[in-house]
Amino acid sequence: MTAGADQVVVAPSLYAAPLLRIGDAVRAATDGGADAFHVDIMDGHFVGPISFGNLVVDAVRAATTLPLDAHLMVTNPASHVAWLADAGVRAVTLHVEAFAGGASQAIETLNQIRSRGMRAGIAIKPATSVGAIATLVGEVQHVLVMTVEPGSSGQPFLETMVPKILEIVRLFGPTIEVGVDGGINRHTARTSLSAGARYLVAGSAVFTPNLEGTAEAIRAIRAAGAG
């Protein structure tokens, strides 16, 4: 079965938005047809930068009716679940690499996320092999394949991740939404959709060089799945 373009989810990453115009960016993407917002939570430890905390997430929550999906690039994911639930976040994605004991250790936090009424997913860094998340089949509602090294926006899509997307789509099956994050634009969106991804995170392609281009960028990324 080939999924239609209407099944593609486009989630702009606010980390790439101009920080002092974040409200304008939220409006531009909401009005421009985004399906959700991707909110990168970085703790300055799992990755070098520190990004958004509860005050920013609350402000974004108040500025749009679209779902907010959190991507946790933090060393201690469990400590963030409660405030994300309180903020009204729809989905929380954990990095398997945050768990020293591997994927099986992530299950408790994934269950905690679901018990707070949110969708639970796992993210995987470029250097981590698919085997590291194989035991999570049946434990997650989505998988996020990092197509750049996490920590910054504006990096080029790693074409070497395409076989990994294919492998994860095969392993997790058709009901699990596979997403890509990093370097997604209208071209790499097509590549990713062809490999079976359905959830497209896009940062700099949507918010740079300016917000006047946001709606067209979202349209073009979505249309990448159409033909």
Which parts of this chain interact with ligand DX5 (CB under 6 A)?
Answer: 13, 15-16, 38, 40, 71, 148, 150-155, 181-184, 201-205
Task: Give the C-alpha separation, 61 to 46, whole Å.
Answer: 25
Find all residues with CB under 8 Å of 32, minimum gap 6, and list them. 214, 215, 216, 217, 218, 219
- Specify the residue, 177 or 181, whose C-beta has the smaller distance to Zn ion: 181
Report which secondary-structure segment, H or E, holds 113. Answer: helix 103-115
Q: Write down the catalytic residue from 24, 31, 35, 40.
A: 40
Give the separation between CA 23 and CA 18, rounded to whole angstroms.
Answer: 9
3-state secondary structure of 82: helix
Shortest reach from residue 208's CB to ligand DX5, in Å? 8
Active site residue 181: yes
User: Considering beta carbons, is residue 18 or 154 the nearer one to ligand DX5?
Assistant: 154
Pairing verdict, β 199-202 and 9-12: parallel
40 near Zn ion, judged by CB under 5 A: yes
Would you count residue 95 as binding Zn ion (CB under 5 A)? no
- Respond yes or no: is residue 69 known to be catalytic: no
| Residue 71 found at the interface with Zn ion (CB under 5 A) | yes
Catalytic residues: 40, 181
Q: Would you tell me which residues interact with Zn ion (CB under 5 A)? A: 40, 71, 181
